[in-house]
């Protein structure tokens, strides 16, 4: 099976190579590929955890957890209505993430 590699355009720090395998039929897929895979949680770095928490709660997201760990770090988890995927808010910086909505005005 041939591998295709293409270079991503973008800032130097974000340039990575993406490996793409040719598409397989269901019969060719390895057993692991037949497992029902789901995205459980995405970590979103924020400058102000309380402000971000209020923002998502104002959107109607459910607060699942908000506590301080023994090491002093804070754990905040929220889940959008009807979604199986949650977010964890944390202080710091990270790579860009995209939240997709069907109506930004809603």
Does residue 2 belong to any structural domain of this protein? Answer: no
Instruction: Report the pLDDT value the prediction gives residue 13, as an integer from 0 to 100.
Output: 37
**pLDDT tier for residue 22 given thresholds of 50, 70 and 90:** low
Instruction: Give 78-106 pLDDT, tens digit per residue.
Output: 999 999 999 999 877 777 767 677 777 75
CB count within 10 Å of CB 49 equals 16
Residue 90 belongs to a domain with what CATH number?
A: 3.10.180.10
For residue 73, what pLDDT is reported? 83
Output the six-digit token pair for 45: 């770095």
Reported as type and span, the H/E element at residue 49 is helix 49-58
Look at the block and give the residue holding tokens 């607060």: 63
Q: Which pLDDT tens digit goes with each residue over 28-82?
A: 666 655 666 778 898 888 989 999 999 999 999 999 999 988 988 888 999 999 9
Beta strands in 31-85 (DSSP E): 41-46, 62-68, 74-79
Q: Supply the range of the domain harboring residue 52.
A: 35-106
pLDDT at residue 34, rounded to an integer:
65
Number of domains in the chain: 1
Domain assignment present for residue 18? The answer is no
In a domain? residue 96: yes
The per-residue pLDDT for 83 is: 93
29 in a structural domain = no
Which of the pair, 45 or 7, is modelled with greater confidence?
45
């Amino acid at each position: 099976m041939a591998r295709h590699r293409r270079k991503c355009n973008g800032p130097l720090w974000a340039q990575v190579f993406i490996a793409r395998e040719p598409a397989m039929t269901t019969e060719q897929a390895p057993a692991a590929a037949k497992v029902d895979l789901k995205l459980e949680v995405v970590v979103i770095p924020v400058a102000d955890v309380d402000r971000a928490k209020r923002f998502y709660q104002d959107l109607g997201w459910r607060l699942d957890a908000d506590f301080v760990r023994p090491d002093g770090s804070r754990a905040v988890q929220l889940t959008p209505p009807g979604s199986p995927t949650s977010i964890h808010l944390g202080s710091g910086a990270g790579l860009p993430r995209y939240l997709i909505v069907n109506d930004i005005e809603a």
